[in-house]
Copies of this chain bind each other. A is one copy, B any other.
Amino acid sequence: MGNHDLTIGMLARQAGVNVETVRYYQRRGLLPEPDKPLGGIRRYGAGEVARIKFVKRAQHMGFSLEEIAALLKLEDGTHCAEARAIAVEKLEEVRRRLEGLRDIEQRLRQLVSECGARRGNVRCPLIDSLRDK
């Protein structure tokens, strides 16, 4: 775990992101920037790979980088209530978005089917629904 032998390019490849993304995460404070040793080339280890993967997993759960920064501060696993609070908020947000998307799905499904069933020169139901009610 402590072997610091990766260059930033290797780190990026192992974590499945671009070098620029690694640097971006460093700037955002999601990834510590190791001290530059003599010569000027930094080395990274398994800890950094894991951290980037943590970020990517959290993104797939819908968290923003800002929220992920907060989660990373609780990474030792001893602040479960705080972590849970962040997840609860995200869950509520996800549910709101789900509701909105479900409405949209419904309306689109309805309109697509009406447009498909249209016969003769009836006006387009989709276009009509967008015009003044």
Contact = CB atoms under 8 A, between A and B. Distances in A.
Interface of A: 50, 53-54, 57-58, 60-62, 71, 74-75, 77-81, 83-84, 87-88, 90-91, 94-95, 97-98, 101-102, 104-105, 107-109, 111-112, 115-116, 118, 121, 123-132
How many copies make up the complex?
Answer: 2
B74 A104 contact: no
Contacts of A118: 80
Closest 10 CB pairs of A and B: A80-B124, A84-B115, A77-B123, A91-B108, A77-B124, A83-B126, A62-B104, A77-B127, A54-B130, A57-B130
B84 A94 contact: no
Given A98-B101, A101-B94, A115-B80, A108 B87 contact: yes
B132 A75 contact: no
17 contacts: A54-B130, A57-B129, A57-B130, A60-B104, A61-B130, A62-B101, A71-B126, A77-B127, A80-B124, A83-B124, A87-B111, A87-B112, A91-B105, A91-B108, A91-B112, A94-B101, A95-B105
